[in-house]
Structure 1
Amino acid sequence: MPLYILRLSLDHTSFRIPSLLSISQVFNFPIRFVSQDLYRGLLVIELEKEEDVNHLLERETLLLSVTELYAQGSTYEELHAEMSQHLDILQPYRQKSFKFTLEGVNHRVIESRIRDTVESFAYTALEGKIQMKNPDVEFVIYEDYQWQAAHTVQARVSRDGNFKHVYFGRRIGFGRARTLATSHDVKNRAYYGNTSMDSHMGFLMAGQALPAPGKLIYDPFVGTGSMLYAVAHWGAYVLGSDIDGRQIRGKMKGKEVKPGILRAAEQYGIEDRFIDCLTYDVTRSPIRTGGWVDAIITDPPYGVRAGAKRTGRKEGGKPLREEPYLLPDGTYSHKREDYLPPSRPYELANLTLDLVQLARWLLVPGGRLVFFLPTVNEDYQEVDVPVVEGMKELKIGQGSIQDFGKWGRRLITMEKTALDDGPPPTFEDHDEFDIKNQPEHLPGHFGFRDRYAAGFAPRTIGDSGSASPAVETPAILVPGVTTRNEQGK
């Protein structure tokens, strides 16, 4: 099968392989990675047919360009020797207008060397016209260098030509999804909030949900809708919910009649793909049947910019009323426009397990759950990802992570392997998360909000047996949470 060179951005390198594999799964074509190092600026892959390249160019936001690989080597002598044996591959382009381009990866090639390098390919005996603008075909030479921090002119001159590998091939096209991060930039969005996801990261997450026309994708913590804009762009129908309807609506100004989320959807031309955005607590959801959602994609609140909440009262507070409260003016409190139901913090470890159980119930067989899991890096272990029968985590290498030093956001992608819906989740505070039992391991995301506020100080076990940061922080956690171990105990 033909080989292709992917020129990739060096941003978010841990996301690139899962992203490419997801595209191949959406369009049902095989992809084989030939390169030994999967995280360099150039990645050699094998595809069955060139039309599959167009799917990558259309959807991969990290992809700069794709070139069909003709020859390679650790030196130009090796490259020319290999190319000389395969000159017949140039036959379809021999009479066409062309140009040669020399690109350095992790390096800007010295201009004075470019002409000599291009002329070393004279043996290809191309007969078409040299045309620097809009040629029929563009041939590309890639020099792949090791990354170097120094960017002085002297450093550039001294390393010029000392590349690790050199490639030659025909450019097929440039990445067409690269502009999405700019066109969907949060700062230019009609409606956004302080919890809105970065647009580029939103598209990288969206790819893992395998969005496509006709699919239905749900965000149970929709906020200002960042996740839904990305999946709807690829043709999926979307549905969102949130405990706080103010996030969905935003402020209405003047003659505005549409909620904020729909105003942004209209800006991107995808309003017709928004089924609805509903206000309810996901732990008291009105949904009564499972097995109908193709994917769940969400960025659960974890307390850095907004904390997760669920209906109820904090520990020690008054219990919820069983009957509606009648105000002195004869109206019920819950019917007032400014009514907000009482809420309590939703511990992230509880929320994470509930989310996986919700996906187990709502998803169709083979459906995906995609979410960010913030963790304290030094405390994170593989067992922190909840184990639920019928759900399987999909992971490449060490996984995709945004590393912020002491903490990071891990992108978790899970697939429903069960063929049945199973029971709906109960959303109770799970017994296996009872910190009073002094479990051997507390997950890296347990008590994340307090850990963040405390500067990620090491945990200590207090006299009561509860785990807390070594420094004093406000007591805002729901008691009793860690995640399951590998045996699901």
Structure 2
Amino acid sequence: MPLYLLRISSEQTSFRIPSLLSIAQVFDFPIRFVSSDLFRGVLVVELQREDDVEKILERDILVLSATELFAEGASYDELHTELRNNMALFDPYIHTTFRITMESCNHRIPETRQRETINTFRYTGLQGEVSMKAPQVEFVIVEDYEWEVANTPEARYARDGNFVRVYFGRRIGIGRARSLILSHSVKTRTYYGNTSMDAQMGFLMAGQALPAPGKIMYDPFVGTGSMLYAVAHWGAYVFGSDIDGRQIRGKMKGKNTRPGVYRSAAQYGVEDRFIDCLTYDVTRGPIRRGGWVDAIVTDPPYGVRAGAKRLGRKEGKKPLREDPYLMDDGEYSHQKPDYLPPSRPYELANLTLDLILLARWLLVPKGRLVFFLPTVNEDYDEIDIPIVEGMKELKFGAGSVQDFGKWGRRLITMEKTALDDGLPPTFEDHDELELTKASGKLPGHYGFNKRYAAGFPPRKDGNRSESATPPNTTLEKREEGME
């Protein structure tokens, strides 16, 4: 199969391979990674058709450009030798207008050397006119350098030419999804809140859900809707829920009589793909049937800017009333427009297990659950992710992590392997967390919000054991690589 060179952003490098694999799965084409180092600024891949490359350019938010690879080498001598042995590659372009562009990763090439280097390709025999503005074909030279700080002109000139590898090929196109970072920027969004996901990360998450026209996707912690805008952009129908309807509605004064989530959806041209956004506690939701949602994609609140809540009262307080409360004005309290029901914290470890159990019931076979899990880097262990029978984690290498130093947000992607719906989750407080607390074997994300507020002090619960197996779940080590 033909080889192609992808120029990839150096941002979020741990997300790049899962993103490409997900695009290949959505459009059902094979992809093979040829590069030995998958985290450089250039990535060589093997694909069957150029149409597959176009799909990557259209969908992958990290891909800057794509080039059909003609030759490569550790030096220009190697590059020219390989290119001279494949001169037939130029036959379709002998008489077309063209230009040759020179690029580099982690370095700026002086213009004088660019001209000198381009002139060494005269042997290609191209007879068409050079067109710098609108060529029929563009050839590209790419030099790949190691990352190195070079703050002065002298330092840049000293390292010029000391590249790791050099590539030559025909440009196919520029990454068209990159513009979504600006067009969906939170700064220009009609409605957003302090927990809104930034556009780049939202689209990276959405890609893992495999969105496509006709699919139905759900966010049980919808907030201001960031996940749904990205998923709907790729054609999926979406709906969301949240225990706090104020996040969905925003301010609706004057002419703004629609909830804020819908105003932003209209801004992005996807309002017709929003089935609904509802206010309810996901642990007491109205859904009565499983096995019909294609993906659940969500960023659960974990207590940094907002904590997860569920209906009820905190431990030690009076239980919820069994009958409605009649106010002095003759109205029941829950009928007032500003009514907020009593709520209590929703422990992140409980929420994580409940979310996986919900996905096991609600998803179609091979449906995906995609969510962020905040983890303290020094405490995280793979066994922290509970694997429910019928669900498996999909992970490439060490996984996709947005690292903030002492902690990081780990993107968890799981697939429903079961063919049946199973039983709906009961959303009970899981006793096993108290049992593991007593024995000193807690998940690394247990009590994350408190540890964050305290500056991540060392755990006092001792070393956790991989042999701890909570009831109703199976904890197991996953092998590295994509399952």
Question: What TM-score range do you get, normalising by the shorter chain?
Answer: over 0.9
Deviation per residue, 1:282-341 (Å, 9 max, x gap): 000111010000000000000000000000000011011111112232221111111111
Q: TM-score, normalised by structure 1?
A: 0.94
Question: Given that residues 72 and 79 in structure 1 are in contact (C-alpha distance below 8 angstroms), is that contact kept between their aligned partners in structure 2?
Answer: yes
SS in 1 for 2:45: strand
| Correspondence for 1:458 | 458
Which amino acid in 2 is paired with 1:236? A
Q: 1:486 aligns with which of 472, 476, 483?
A: 476
| 1:201 aligned counterpart, secondary structure | helix
Q: Residues 170-204 of structure 1: CA distance to partner in whole angstroms, max 9, x if unpaired? A: 00000000000100000100000000001110000
The answer on whether the counterparts of 1:212 and 1:234 sit within 8 Å (CA) in structure 2 is yes
**Cross-structure match for 1:118:** 118
**1:486 positional shift:** 2.4
Per-residue CA distance 1:431-460 (angstroms, 9 max, x = gap): 111157523421111000000000000122
Matching of residues 421-460 of structure 1 within 5 Å:
421-435=421-435, 438-460=438-460
Structure 1 residues 118 and 482, CA gap change in structure 2 (3 angstroms): farther
Indicate the residue corresponding to 1:473 in structure 2. none
Asked whether the 8 Å contact 2:389–2:474 carries over to 1, the reply is: no
* AA matched with 1:201: M
How many Å separate the matches in 2 of 1:406 and 1:50? 42
Q: Which residue of 1 aligns with 2:466?
A: none
Deviations, residues 343-397 of structure 1 (Å, cap 9, x unaligned) = 0000000000000000000000000000000011111000011110000000000
Q: Residue in 1 aligned with 2:314?
A: 314
Given the superposition, is the C-alpha separation of residues 217 and 234 from structure 1 closer, same or farther in structure 2, using an over 3 Å criterion? same
Q: Which residue of 2 aligns with 1:471?
A: none
TM-aligned CA deviation for residue 481 of structure 1: 12
Give the residue type in structure 1 aligned to 2:252.
Answer: M
Taking a change above 3 Å as real, the CA distance of residues 437 and 213 of structure 1, as seen in their structure-2 partners, is closer
Preserved CA contact (<8 Å) 2:382 2:477: no
Equivalence for 1:259: 259
2:372 — aligned with what? 372
* Count of matched residue positions in the alignment of Structure 1 and Structure 2: 471
Q: Does 1:247 align with 2:247?
A: yes
| Match in the other structure for 1:401 | 401
Check if 1:203 corresponds to 2:200. Answer: no
Give the partner amino acid of 1:125: G
Shift of 1:403: 0.5
Q: Is the 8 A contact 1:442 1:483 kept in 2?
A: no
Pick closer, same or farther for the CA change 1:363–1:436 going to 2, 3 Å.
closer
Contact conserved, 2:391 with 2:416, CA < 8 A, in 1?
Answer: yes
1:304 maps to a residue whose letter is V
2:232–2:270 Cα contact (<8 Å) kept: yes
SS at match of 2:389: coil
2:159 alignment partner AA: R
Task: Find the aligned partners of 1:320 and 1:74 in 2 and give their Cα distance.
Answer: 71
Q: Following the alignment from structure 1 to structure 2, what is the Cα–Cα distance between the partners of residues 151 and 376?
A: 34
- Report the Cα distance in structure 1 between the residues aligned to 2:364 and 2:51, rounded to whole angstroms: 30
**2:467 aligns to what?**
none
Q: CA deviation at 1:150?
A: 2.5
2-side partners of 1:285 and 1:363: how far apart? 16
Question: Does residue 130 of structure 1 match 2:130?
Answer: yes
- Cα distance in 2 for partners of 1:435, 1:481 equals 10
Whole-angstrom distance in 2 between the partners of 1:357 and 1:68: 44
Determine helix, strand or coil for the equivalent of 2:178.
coil
| Cα deviation digits, residues 28-53 of structure 1 (max 9, x gap) | 00000000000000000000011111
2:212 maps to which residue?
Answer: 212
Cα distance change of structure 1 residues 129 and 32 upon mapping to structure 2, 3 Å threshold: same
Tell me by how many angstroms 1:487 deviates: 8.8
After superposition, the C-alpha distances for 1:54-93 in whole angstroms (9 at most, x for unaligned) are 1000000001000000011101111111110110111000
Structure-2 residue corresponding to 1:49: 49
Matches within 5 A, 1:299-378: 299-378=299-378
SS across alignment from 1:255:
coil
Shift of 1:111: 1.3
* Residue 483 of structure 1, CA deviation: 8.7
- Could you tell me how far 1:253 is from its partner in structure 2? 2.2
Report the equivalent of 2:26. 26
Mapping of residues 90-109 of structure 1, within 5 Å? 90-109=90-109
Q: What's the secondary structure of 1:438's corresponding residue?
A: helix
Counterpart Cα distance in 2 of 1:440 and 1:44: 46
Distance 1:430 1:13, change over 3 A: same
Paired with 1:379 and 1:71, the residues of 2 have a C-alpha distance of: 45
Q: What is the alpha-carbon distance in structure 2 between the residues aligned to residue 36 and residue 482 of structure 1?
A: 41
Moved more, 332-341 or 361-370: 332-341
Give, as a single letter, the amino acid of the residue that structure 2 aligns with 1:441. K
Q: Aligned partners of 1:407 and 1:443: how far apart in 2?
A: 14
Deviations 1:420-440 (A, max 9, x none): 000000000111111575234
Q: Distance in 2 between matches of 1:124 and 1:437?
A: 70
- For 2:387, give the aligned amino acid: V
- Within 2, Cα distance between the matches of 1:205 and 1:364? 19
* Matched AA of 1:207: G
**In the TM superposition, what is the alpha-carbon distance from 1:482 to its structure 2 partner?**
13
For structure 2, the 5+ residue unaligned runs are 463-469, 479-483
Counterparts of 2:151 and 2:203, CA distance in 1: 31
Q: Work out the CA distance in 2 between the residues paired with 1:267 and 1:128.
A: 45
Partner of 2:232: 232
Alpha-carbon distance between aligned partners in 2 of 1:30 and 1:440, rounded to the nearest angstrom: 45
Q: Please, what is the CA RMSD of the aligned residues?
A: 1.6
* Identity level (%): 71
- Cα distance in 2 between the residues matched to 1:62 and 1:483: 36
2:177 alignment partner, SS class: coil
The separation in 1 between residues aligned to 2:387 and 2:171, in whole angstroms, is: 45
* 1:175 aligned partner: 175
Rounded Cα–Cα distance in structure 1 between residues aligned with 2:428 and 2:117: 68
- Aligned counterparts of 2:471 and 2:327: Cα–Cα separation in 1: 38
Q: 1:317 to 1:51 in 2, by over 3 A?
A: same
Question: Secondary structure, in 3 states, of the residue corresponding to 1:414?
Answer: strand
